[in-house]
Amino acid sequence: MQENIMRLRAEIEAYDLTAPEQLEQFRIAFTGRKGQLADLFDQLKTVPQEQRRAVGQELNQLKQLALDKFSQRQQELEAAAQNAPADATFDYTLPPALNTLGTRHPLNLVREEMVRIFSRIGFNVAEGPEVEDDWHNFTALNFPENHPARDMQDTFFIAPSAPPAHLGSGEMASDKALATPHHLTISPSHLLRTHTSNVQVRLMESQKPPIRSIMPGRVYRNEAISARAHMMFHQVEGLFVDENVSFADLKQTVYYFVQEMFGQDIQIRFRPSFFPFTEPSAEIDITCLICKGKGCNICKQSGWVEIGGCGMVDPNVLQQSGIDPEQYSGYAWGMGIERITMLKYQIKDLRLFTENDMRFLRQFEGVQLG
């Protein structure tokens, strides 16, 4: 043991600490948890009882020697770095760095293009809160009390103990932004909205028909994140309420949008479906632009991709919002901006939109739609 102590003392005293990177090497070799000093302390239990006290004192002195040398040299290197000229390490032969322009996020590009397309046929923009109450998110939209969308597996509910909060989408200039309080008193019935249909209810409550608006914004659902799903995504919903509105009007609006966004040759189909707030209801499918209808992971090998749901506004929804269903009718639809963007730019993984990978985002430099 004595020979090992003497050898290690000589190594510590002779160790060269001229460069900053050698400090970390010194710490690991001697004072770290797996260093040589730690090994000697582990061997102390093998020393005879009558010698253990003296050997232990020598080990403590050796450890203090190593710590003092490390601390002193660390302070000297830090002082030298602070006193060094600011440009001492600058290489003046390097070429200048070019100024680079930022890029628009693909979701913003597509959202603004969707707004432009619908504005050309008379739709304005309405917005509402992201923290919503049960009435505007579910009850007023004809959701029964036992509907699965009310279950915790789908919805982020706000705990009653949460502090007052107000979230607005706040990312787009609104032609008709709905007035909402700046402070919400959170109750057990508050939640992160699961769709922007809550804005439709607020719109019908606040004005009389005719109503022709789209509602872009963030929505939240308690889902596992994958290439096809995310817990936070973006929607654009639309609402048209007036006298004598028919399903034919809805279909022509959808045809117009799809052809303006993807081209005149795109194929569209409507599949019967069910939504609590529309009757009749349909899902909107278009040809998968990623595989050209051949089948891929995005379209689940079917060749078709669902881009949204639609239908005629249920009379109960109109009546609960203060609109006479005997005089007025309307249609509504909703589309995911991420899904439209994936098809527009043939992106195969939804997670790319939120990873902030510059290699992905730089592909949209100079992209302008509309």
Which residue positions form the known binding site for Mg(2+)? 279
The CA distance from 25 to 18, in Å, is: 12
Instruction: Let me know the angle formed at the C-alpha of 178 by 249 and 339, rounded to the nearest 5 degrees.
Output: 55
Q: Residue 278 belongs to what H/E stretch?
A: strand 278-287
> Taking a C-beta distance cutoff of 8 angstroms, is the pair 315, 80 a contact?
no
Which residue positions form the known binding site? 279
Residue 42's CB is within 10 A of a number of other CB atoms, namely 9
The CA distance from 188 to 56, in Å, is: 63
**What is the per-residue pLDDT across 236-269, written as a single tens digit (0 to 9) for each?**
999 999 999 999 999 999 999 999 999 888 899 9
For 229, residues 6+ apart whose C-beta sits below 8 A from its C-beta are 223, 350
Average pLDDT, the chain: 84
Residues, the chain, total?
370
pLDDT at site 48: 84
The CA distance from 186 to 202, in Å, is: 18
**Strands 131-132 and 329-336, sheet pairing:** unpaired
Query: Which residues are 232's β-sheet partners?
Result: 220
* Encoded amino acid at 172, one letter: M
The CA distance from 370 to 368, in Å, is: 7
Residue 318's CB is within 10 A of a number of other CB atoms, namely 20
**Strands 304-313 and 211-220, sheet pairing:** unpaired
pLDDT at site 176: 41
The CA distance from 204 to 52, in Å, is: 86
**What is the per-residue pLDDT across 165-208, written as a single tens digit (0 to 9) for each?**
444 443 333 334 443 343 445 555 789 999 999 999 999 999 99
Q: What is the mean pLDDT of residues 47-69?
A: 85
**What is the per-residue pLDDT across 319-365, written as a single tens digit (0 to 9) for each?**
999 999 999 999 999 999 999 998 888 888 899 999 988 889 888 87
Tokens of 194: 């699961």
Q: Single out the residue of 246, 304, 322 nearest to residue 280, CA to CA.
A: 246
The CA distance from 138 to 68, in Å, is: 68
Location of structure tokens 């939209």:
141
